[in-house]
Structure 1
Amino acid sequence: MKIKGLLGVLLFVACLWGDVAIAEDGVRKIAIVKADDVRGVSNKWDAFFAVSKELGIRVSAGVICNSLEAEGEGYHEWLKGYQSSGYVEFWNHGWDHQRWESENGDRLSEFGGSGYAHQKRHFEDSQAMMARVLGVPSIAFGSPYNAFDADTERVLSENEDVRLLFSYRLEGKAGKAILPMRFKGELDGTGKPNFEAFKSEYASKKRDVTLTALQFHPLYFEDGGLEEYAKIVEFMLAEGWVFVLPSEFLAMTE
């Protein structure tokens, strides 16, 4: 991140949250919840959004966009209700979240080795469907399985609406702002947040990290998963982290 952008982050957060954004060590720390795999109306998603709101944080959630075509109006209204609430923001998580094996035995996925034409169609269809249902195209993108290749970079570079990219890698991609996943929300595997494991990783990295996205899969939370998620959030809040939406992060950096 450029110095100008970093100063913008600090100024924006200071204005929005004041002293709450300052940890005991005097460093402002920004977190974005990246919740993956919205496919339809679900009690698990409702519970996740409710707990997040009770904790006083805003969260973002990635929509698998072929669900917008397959599901009915009730699903669309459900999404619109959360989007208009101000504490949930949806983003483009690809069209179908598929992966497969090629004839040569190569492991491929929607945005990993599938080719430019495939990726271009899936990305643009996803953006168009989100605009149709939610009124605006997504400003953020996170690929299924966090896959990313040269074709993905080309597709993203050709689109001006998406300006933020969730990524485990820190270097710039396709000229987009990066939302780095410096801490892992689910160290025990997909849908398995573990507070004690998170604390251990956090202790080993906290000196070097002041910006992170946290990836979760609420639809796959098992018994106790929501409680472990809440413990992680409460811990980070106590550590002085401020949770923002992708659009808020974008306002900080541009």
Structure 2
Amino acid sequence: MILLPERSMKSVFVVNRPLGVCVFLLGLMLGLILSASPTMAAQTSNPLPNAGFEDGITSWNIGEGGSKVVTEAARTGKLGLRVSNDGTKGRGSNATSASLSLTPGQEYTLRFWARSNSTSAGVYINYLNEKNRRVYDPNIKSGSPMIRIKHDDNQWHEYTFTATAPELAKKVQIWVHTFSTANCVIDLDDFVMAGFPADVQVKAPRPYKAPNKPKPIDWDNIPKPDKPINIVLKLDDLFVKGNQPTPRWLRVVEYIDSKQIKATMGMLTEGIATASPEYCQWVKDHLAKGNWEIWFHGWDHQTYTGPDGKKHNEFEGRSYDQQMKRLADSQRLAYEKFGFHFTSFGPPGGVGTPSQDATTHKVMIDDPYITTWIYPTAIDELGKQTNQQGDIVILDRVWGVGIEPTVGAADFEAFVRGYIRNVQKRDYFTLQGHPQMWNDHRFEQFTRIVEFLIDQGANFVLPSAYAKTLR
């Protein structure tokens, strides 16, 4: 006798029946079992544990920034995931799921529901290898799939995404992330990962561990350096578009001018050929003031897929002729439209590979105008060799001292901590920032950094002019 789970207080018995009838009844029983046990069916079709957050934060790494599981975020059931950011969280707000095993070439589908007041967040797919290191998809610009939250009407919307695992991928996990400068509240619920075999391996992420809080800064006893520190304000990503830079850029430029200090703008040159007369005049007017230097930051800041199938930054992995063409075309256009040649260079980043290589060094040495290289890292062996060669001065970077601990997130206190630790060891700092990414809070953090440096007696310098003093 086989006793079925039953929904109507009835039992079904199988006794002596022909084989065909028994097979039919067994199939019927299986269907009844699955329909009577939705949990069993869900485990087969959706291996992602705690996909609806009914078990709180179990099987998720939740806690960084403004991530939490709350009743207000539920679409179905009692709980859902809420990620929020007020524009002050340098790393955004994040949540990471358990990982699921998969094989290269395996197709799978991610589905979920989201409700948001902003489009400043995304649900990312992270691929991992057998050592839990990131694997990047060469067919995707950023290296990882991302489903951007595209509705800001505070209504629930379903999102569906189908992808194929790249070569070397052994695991996949979901990463929910708000952008660092976002101001948003986003609710998510009812995740589904489909297309996985019954023997899929599931591994929970490491539990979230809050970072240790740094010691309070003794604001009344911050020492001043023995001699004034030289500061290069390296402001990145000035696009040539429209009749003038964007309002965020203009706000920063006007602030710098009001403080009567020197700063730089890293220009991306692809748009110079079609620059409007108004934009050209804006550039000429600001160069004429004498407190600005515009340097070469790249042609388009775009990553590309190399012959090795990996993503590379603009000035890394390309041939000498390819890199030289980007620089030579930029020099020609800058002179034709603005009346100057670039004398400083700072390569663009974008993905985890280096921003430059040995070929870049040769290109910059061979260019007749470049005299200064605003290095994106601490100086390396190639940089030392270029410095010794004598045609170019490299101004390197101290990682612990910067406007932005993470890209786009200007942070006054983080800067001051790094400054205190390093100021007596250096003659200069190059401070990188991205004005287009600064919301009101980040802009205010930048102004506090500048005013702190002014109070410290810092000497704001232009890279080309300062480099001449180091020859």
TM-score range, shorter-chain basis? 0.7 to 0.9
Which residue in the other structure is 1:44 paired with?
248
The higher-RCO structure (CA 8 Å, 6+ apart) is 1
Q: Report the Cα offset of residue 33 of structure 1.
A: 0.6
Q: For 2:374, what is the secondary structure of its paired residue? A: strand
Q: What is the correspondence of 1:113-128 to structure 2 with a 5 Å cutoff?
A: 113-128=317-332
Q: For 2:440, what is the secondary structure of its paired residue? A: coil
Percent identical among aligned pairs is 26
Q: 1:161-207: per-residue Cα shift (whole Å, max 9, x none)?
A: 100000123243534111222222211x2221000111122222222
- Once the two structures are overlaid, the 10-residue window that deviates more, 197-206 or 160-169, is 197-206
- Structure 1 segments of 4+ aligned residues over 6 angstroms from their partners: none
Larger Rg over CA atoms: 2
- Counterpart Cα distance in 2 of 1:205 and 1:25: 10
Shift in alpha-carbon separation, 1:104–1:244, aligned structure 2, 3 A: same
Q: What is the correspondence of 1:1-254 to structure 2 with a 5 Å cutoff?
A: 24-40=224-240, 41=244, 42-102=246-306, 104-145=308-349, 147-167=355-375, 168-170=377-379, 171-172=383-384, 174=386, 175=389, 176-182=392-398, 183-187=401-405, 189-254=406-471
- Counterpart Cα distance in 1 of 2:445 and 2:332: 35
Q: Report the Cα offset of residue 105 of structure 1.
A: 2.8
Query: Given the two structures, how large is their TM-score scaled by the length of structure 2?
Result: 0.47
- Counterpart Cα distance in 1 of 2:340 and 2:397: 25
- Counterpart Cα distance in 2 of 1:92 and 1:133: 15
Q: Report the Cα offset of residue 108 of structure 1.
A: 1.1
Residues 371 and 464, structure 2, Cα contact 8 Å, conserved in 1: no
- Counterpart Cα distance in 2 of 1:172 and 1:179: 11
Q: Report the Cα offset of residue 70 of structure 1.
A: 3.2
Residues 49 and 88, structure 1, Cα contact 8 Å, conserved in 2: no
Q: Report the Cα offset of residue 69 of structure 1.
A: 1.5
- Counterpart Cα distance in 2 of 1:236 and 1:173: 32
- Once the two structures are overlaid, the 10-residue window that deviates more, 203-212 or 165-174, is 165-174
Q: Report the Cα offset of residue 24 of structure 1.
A: 4.7
Which residue in the other structure is 1:15 paired with?
none
Which residue in the other structure is 2:92 paired with?
none
2:437 partner letter: Y
Q: 1:71-125: per-residue Cα shift (whole Å, max 9, x none)?
A: 3222111111111122222111111111023353312121011222211110111
Residues 192 and 222, structure 1, Cα contact 8 Å, conserved in 2: no
1:179 partner letter: L
Q: Report the Cα offset of residue 250 of structure 1.
A: 3.3
Q: For 2:316, what is the secondary structure of its paired residue? A: coil
Report the aligned-residue RMSD: 1.9
Report how many aligned residue pairs link the two structures: 231
2:403 partner letter: G
Shift in alpha-carbon separation, 1:48–1:34, aligned structure 2, 3 A: same
2:366 partner letter: E
- Counterpart Cα distance in 2 of 1:149 and 1:173: 13
2:299 partner letter: W
Shift in alpha-carbon separation, 1:24–1:212, aligned structure 2, 3 A: closer
Residues 69 and 129, structure 1, Cα contact 8 Å, conserved in 2: yes
Residues 298 and 348, structure 2, Cα contact 8 Å, conserved in 1: yes
Q: 1:118-168: per-residue Cα shift (whole Å, max 9, x none)?
A: 111101111111122221211101111171101101111211210000012
Residues 374 and 463, structure 2, Cα contact 8 Å, conserved in 1: no
Query: Which structure's residues are more often strand, by fraction?
Result: 2
Q: Report the Cα offset of residue 47 of structure 1.
A: 0.8
Residues 93 and 142, structure 1, Cα contact 8 Å, conserved in 2: yes
Structure 1 unmatched runs, 5+: 1-22
